[in-house]
Chain A
Amino acid sequence: MTGPMLPRERCDYSAIVDRPVMKLPGGARIVIWTIVNLEVWDIAKPMARQVIPAPTGIPLLPDVPNWSWHEYGMRVGVWRFFELYHKLGIAPTLSINARVCEDYPRVARQAHQAGWEFMGHAYEQGPIHKEADQKAMIHRSLGVIEDFTGKRPVGWLGPGLTQTLETPEWLAEAGIKYIGDWVYDDEPTLIRTANGPLVTLPYTVELNDIPMMMVQHHESTQLLNRVTDSFDRLYAESEQRPKILSLAIHPYISGQPFRIKYLEAIYDYVNRFEGVVHWNGEQILDWYLGQTAAGQKRA
């Protein structure tokens, strides 16, 4: 091999209708995978996103208004999430910049104590293409989380889902087992790396409050409408094969007072159906690996 693999070389094309049907345990039909994203926006850098542009549109540093917009999520919004998931008895996956453990230990500790899964999400927010030493950043990120929680993450989501062609190699080398960056299927898949396979889990850029609210600028109700529309379809299809519905949220967006009730209403809706389970990424990974091992034994 002369260079890094292209995405197409990491996995063969596979039509979902051609695959063997997997089974969820206990008669379950659909897995809800909730991912809460926690980030650090360094005031010295341009902010990851802007809710309000500078007058005349000239970006200037420091960008205090957008920094403080994000900071609201850490001070207030995330506590609405903690209350909601405590009430529901659900422990989501936390997609967490490792620096959150250093800058916001109060928040990280709360998530850890509530049993949330920590998924690697870079050291701080910014495209991975700009990392001078990607391998070192990945090891640093996983090390900081491991020191904080006592457990090395098995999952990874690139900042803004960014990867370079080499990233899967570095992730597998660092001990990562699953990634969320490939949103190309309803089911988990296996991809090749020079350092062993990685599993892709069906993370989402559609049921995700950043594209929906901050890029597409939908009304607050759209979160509920789009998720329940997806759920209805996937639930119907789950009669034939198990489905996973992922929901990705950020405390500075869905933790706003005018949006939180629509997030709450999503869980009120889906929990009325039989065969709905709430799993974190590692649980989906373990189930999938068990299914593929069983499939290989049968074959």
Chain B
Amino acid sequence: MSPWMLIQHHKASEYYDRAIDHFEQIYEDSAESARIMALVVHPYIMGAPHRLKYFRRIIETLRQKADIVFMTGEQILDWYLQAGPKAP
């Protein structure tokens, strides 16, 4: 997310817009095979008062879907190692 706000200089709401656009596409893709969406934030950027609400809204929006889960990296790893098939 530092590219997004501090290099590309988008306004704060772009974080929300891009994340939701991204989610909608891979949610559709996930009808065929599971998808993972990564969200990267830094406290000195997204934790700023003028940005935080857009991050919060993403989580609020995603949580409305019954068929998505929130996992840590290690949880994704363990799931992947069990689930296969493995991409080369």
Measured CB to CB, the residues of A under 8 A from B are 51-53, 217, 219-221, 256-261
Contact = CB atoms under 8 A, between A and B. Distances in A.
14 contacts: A52-B2, A52-B3, A53-B7, A217-B8, A217-B10, A220-B17, A220-B18, A220-B21, A257-B22, A257-B26, A258-B18, A258-B19, A258-B21, A260-B25
B4 to A, nearest CB: 9
Contacts of B17: 219-221
B22 A256 contact: yes
Nearest to B14: A219
Contacts of B3: 51-52
Contacts of B29: 257
Interface residues of B, number: 17
A259 B10 contact: no
A260 B18 CA distance: 11
Interface of B: 2-3, 7-10, 14, 17-19, 21-26, 29
A219 B18 CA distance: 8
B26 to A, nearest CB: 5
Nearest to A52: B3
A52 B29 CA distance: 26
A219 B9 CA distance: 10
B10 A258 contact: no
Given A217-B7, A217-B10, A220-B21, 18 more contacts: A52-B2, A53-B7, A217-B8, A217-B9, A219-B14, A220-B17, A220-B18, A256-B22, A257-B22, A257-B26, A257-B29, A258-B18, A258-B19, A258-B25, A259-B21, A260-B25, A261-B21, A261-B25
